[in-house]
Amino acid sequence: MVTFPLGDDRPLRLAMLGMTEGNGHPYSWSIILNGHYDPDALADCPYAVIRSYIARQPVETLGIPGVEVTHVCCDDPADAEQVARVARIANVVSRPEDVIGQVDAVIVATDIGGEHVARARPFVEAGLPVFIDKPLCDSRDDLRRFSRWIDAGRPILSSSAMRYAKEFAPYHRATHEFGRLRHVSMTMAKSWETYGIHALEAIMPITGPGFETIRNTGDGARNILHLRHRDGIDVTLAVIRDLSGGAGLLTLAGTEGGVQLRSHDTYHAFAAQLRAAMAWMRSGVAPVPWAETRELMQLVIGGIESRARGGAEIALADIAADTGADG
């Protein structure tokens, strides 16, 4: 079993695991971590947005010192081979479990929350630190399992890169110029199950924890949500499948002022997210308290349950009571 935290006195060997349709994180995250890539291989990367924002970065800005993705495994072996060529990863393995004993920590780079307990379990049980892409989970059963692992001291971290968006960071718990915050809204593309957490985790550092209810009056393609916060803040979210042209728009409105913002620097958000994850692995100090991550997952789950119940209002207290470590 690996001793956690991993400390500052040695290089960290990481495994990049998994790949789901439409999510190219194994490519971009491996490049950001390793600090090098093969330009010819990158040209064949199937994700145009990754090719674009990586190519714009000065090479000297890439990489996190003392960290190297040394192993990769994807659901499709051909994907793993291509990621390895692009990010110059030395070892391609056929099974995720093959990295146990070869690396210091693993990254589960998939965005289907319902798969994360199964994907993480071998490494959690082996005592390896596990960083999991957003969302951590999307059901009460899985949140209960992760809560038990966390309460048992297992090193698990999950986050959305939107928490680290540089356009929103100045307003993290700093909206006093707007008086009392009364309304927050945000737009996001794709599905509530995978991308709703981007909107939620962009907003949570601004409002702070304390959400009480959530209601989703939309459908699978058009999720329209209303959240109530204990500080008297109403939040509305639109997570619409084909809203790519209007995603990432954030409005903050208070009794004395407001602002409209948009995130656009994807590379910066990912790099900051990964630096925070690496700092956690070395220090053992999570960048976000588990209680906050748990509340975010309760909101993800509540949005799914409300939609299934025809837009019923879901109280987070009910989910919390059912998903604690003792639940």
CATH code assigned at 316? 3.30.360.10
Residue 151 domain-assigned (yes or no): no
Q: Which helix (H) or strand (E) holds 315?
A: strand 314-315
SS3 37: coil
Using a 10 angstrom Cβ sphere, with 0-12 exposed, 13-18 middle and 19 or more buried, the burial of residue 63 is: middle
Residue 52 and residue 24 in contact, taking contact as beta carbons nearer than 8 Å: no
The DSSP letter of residue 241 is T
**Residues 69 and 185 occupy one common structural domain:** no
The model's pLDDT over 16-71, given as tens digits with 9 standing for 90+, comes to: 999 999 999 999 999 999 999 999 999 999 999 999 999 999 999 999 999 999 99
**Residues 51 and 199 occupy one common structural domain:** no
Residue 129 and residue 155 in contact, taking contact as beta carbons nearer than 8 Å: yes
Q: What is the pLDDT of residue 2?
A: 83
Residue 138 and residue 13 in contact, taking contact as beta carbons nearer than 8 Å: no
Regions in the chain scoring below 70 on pLDDT: 1, 325-327
> How many domains would you assign to the chain?
2
Read off the amino acid at residue 325: A
Residue written as tokens 């990754």?
50
Which of 124, 28, 26 is closest to 73 using CA atoms? Answer: 26
Q: Which residues contact 16 (CB under 8 A, 6 or more apart)?
A: 26, 29, 30, 69, 71, 72, 73, 83, 89, 107, 109
Last-in-domain residue among 116, 133, 150? 133
Residue 274 domain-assigned (yes or no): no
Q: How far is CA 64 from the centre of its chain?
A: 19
The model's pLDDT over 196-233, given as tens digits with 9 standing for 90+, comes to: 999 999 999 999 999 999 999 999 999 999 999 999 99
**Residues 105 and 225 occupy one common structural domain:** no
Cα dist. 315→36, 68, 107, 148 in Å? 47, 43, 32, 22
Residue 283 domain-assigned (yes or no): no
